[in-house]
Amino acid sequence: MKNSIDKIINTQRDFFLTHETKPIAYRIAALKRLKSEINKREQDIHKAVNLDFKKSEFESVLSETGIVQKELNLLIKNLARWSRPERVKSSMLNFPSADYIYKDPYGTILIIAPWNYPFQLAIVPLIGAIAAGNTAVVKPSELTPNTSKVINEICKTVFDEAYVSVVQGGVEVSQELLSKRWDYIFFTGSVFVGKIVAKAAAEFLTPVTLELGGKNPCIIDHTAKLKLAAKRLVWAKFLNGGQTCVAPDYILIDNKVKTEFIKHYQNEIKKAYGENPQESPDYPRIINEKNFNRLEAMLKDERIPFGGRTDKNDLYIEPTIIDQPDLDSEVMKDEIFGPILPVLGYDNETEINAIIKTYDKPLSFYVFSTRKAYIKKLLSSYSFGGGVINDAIVYYANPNLPFGGVGNSGIGGYHGKQTFETFTHNKAVSKRANWLDAPIRYAPYKGKLGQLKTFLKYF
Ligand code: NAD
């Protein structure tokens, strides 16, 4: 593996240096080939994701191929415009000059993807890397072998290995890849592994994007439309079986409306998944036994007004509510990443702050309220990657909004134009003219300081 990774990197570097990937027409043609192959293999992708963790075709279209197709269309349409050198105002200090920002590819990119949206989170960064004129190596997750296989087949069909190549494998392969010099690393996954990636990147001062996780709070005040909030939050919490980085992790709710909210929430779960969600074709499974055990341990000794049934053989955990867990309980320690919703009541809004501040800056932040001033106050009080008022997750679907974390939830972002920008180095170029050469900057400086100060003051 070691030798073959070195070989792939060297071949990709050579390919990049031949400038093959730089012409815009070449990149657009590559994106179009990718689009057409994904269209052709759409059913295989959905089947693979379903085999990996029983995700329904509807959720796959919504959150895997749908998002990928949207991103492909947007980048194909706008690439010529976004990649043009951008003329900027020149500095009078350099007069006469014409100044530009050139949109330059980094070179050879490493993309490491997680298992939870196994197709989308490997392919959208790849679209960005190609659009920006790079070559790329993609390492999909070992926990979704069926999807990783299809990703490999698609890339093999569409691209020369010297351009885009898929390396499959687990932690060891990932570490081997990280031990090499890259021009950019794009990582999506846990905070724990994100730190390993950052350390490896530091060795070569490689720039990184880290798309990580966190504990996303969801505040519901006494003015919220409770029934609608419950409906939206059932969708947001149980989409992908709760295994979503932007899922609402826990609810902070005014005690005056808590019982009513829980009642609505239970009803909405039944409406969505029936009396026995294990039989619903729309309800995914936990990815593996390790995560199943981790989640099952969170249920122990808790008050569970709804749900709580599990089936290890089927990696099934019922949509579950935990009522008022302690802050030091298992479920409140780290990101849950499963179909378990802790509901914490508050009597006074000042209690909210103490709980949210217990955790690192979250990836997402949600508020259900109809009080504009209160919403405004919350938005300015907390730092978070992105958020939604009166709903959850949906900001992710708008390519005009950048997606990424802050602090422990990540570094950098992508989606839409930012997907292109992330894989692009902004190369600054001043083009000086020769017809004038102001003498002021040249030594000897004697007698010129006054002129310089006047110049700096007015220009
Ligand atoms: P993970 O960090 O365990 O694995 C991600 C990738 O890193 C995989 O390809 C894996 O092979 C590799 N990896 C695992 N351990 C490694 C190690 N020790 N050294 C080097 N590489 C290693 O994450 P996961 O379980 O696949 O995904 C779940 C996590 O990802 C959650 O924390 C979730 O919040 C986060 N996530 C974030 C986003 C986002 O866009 N911000 C999206 C999806 C998931």
CATH of the domain at 136: 3.40.605.10
Q: Could you say which DSSP state residue 432 is in?
A: E
Q: What is the domain range of residue 268?
A: 217-404
Does residue 442 belong to any structural domain of this protein?
no
For residues 111 and 125, is the Cβ–Cβ distance under 8 A?
Answer: yes
Does 155 participate in catalysis according to the annotation? no
Torsion of CA 4, 169, 19, 97, to 10 degrees: -130
Q: How many CB atoms lie within 10 A of CB 85?
A: 12
Does residue 449 belong to any structural domain of this protein?
no
- Laid out side by side, the sheet with 250-254 consists of 320-323, 340-346, 250-254, 217-220, 364-368, 386-389
* 418 and 305 fall within a common domain: no
Number of domains present in the structure of the chain: 2
Does 335 participate in catalysis according to the annotation? no
Ligand 1 center–CA 167 separation, angstroms: 16
Does residue 446 belong to any structural domain of this protein?
no
Mutate to test the pocket of ligand 1, among 111, 112, 186, 193 (most ligand atoms within 8 A of CB): 193
Does residue 457 belong to any structural domain of this protein?
no
pLDDT per position in the chain (459 positions), as tens?
A: 777 999 999 999 999 999 888 999 999 999 999 999 999 999 999 999 999 999 999 999 999 999 999 999 999 999 999 999 999 999 988 999 999 999 999 999 999 999 999 999 999 999 999 999 999 999 999 999 999 999 999 999 999 999 999 999 999 999 999 999 999 999 999 999 999 999 999 999 999 999 999 999 999 999 999 999 999 999 999 999 999 999 999 999 999 999 999 999 999 999 999 999 999 999 999 999 999 999 999 999 999 999 999 999 999 999 999 999 999 999 999 999 999 999 999 999 999 999 999 999 999 999 999 999 999 999 999 999 999 999 999 999 999 999 999 999 999 999 999 999 999 999 999 999 999 999 999 999 999 999 999 988 988
Does residue 306 belong to any structural domain of this protein?
yes
Q: What is the CATH number of the domain that holds 355?
A: 3.40.309.10
* 400 and 254 fall within a common domain: yes
* 234 and 332 fall within a common domain: yes
* 197 and 236 fall within a common domain: no
Does residue 453 belong to any structural domain of this protein?
no
* 323 and 419 fall within a common domain: no
Does residue 454 belong to any structural domain of this protein?
no
* 196 and 233 fall within a common domain: no
Q: Concatenated DSSP letters for 66-78?
A: HHHHHHHHHHHHH
* 70 and 30 fall within a common domain: yes
* 178 and 47 fall within a common domain: yes
* 208 and 259 fall within a common domain: no
Please report which helix (H) or strand (E) contains residue 280, including its range.
Answer: none
* 331 and 262 fall within a common domain: yes
* 239 and 355 fall within a common domain: yes
- Measured CA to CA, the distance from residue 184 to residue 110 in angstroms comes to 6
- Measured CA to CA, the distance from residue 284 to residue 278 in angstroms comes to 9
Q: Which residues contact 439 (CB under 8 A, 6 or more apart)?
A: none
Residues lining ligand 1, judged by CB closer than 6 Å? 112-116, 121, 139, 141-142, 170-171, 174-175, 178, 188-190, 193, 196, 211-213, 245, 335, 337, 363, 405, 410
Ligand 1 center–CA 42 separation, angstroms: 24
For residues 100 and 85, is the Cβ–Cβ distance under 8 A?
Answer: yes
* 204 and 294 fall within a common domain: no
Cα angle for residues 56, 409, 184 (degrees, 5° grid): 90
Does residue 451 belong to any structural domain of this protein?
no
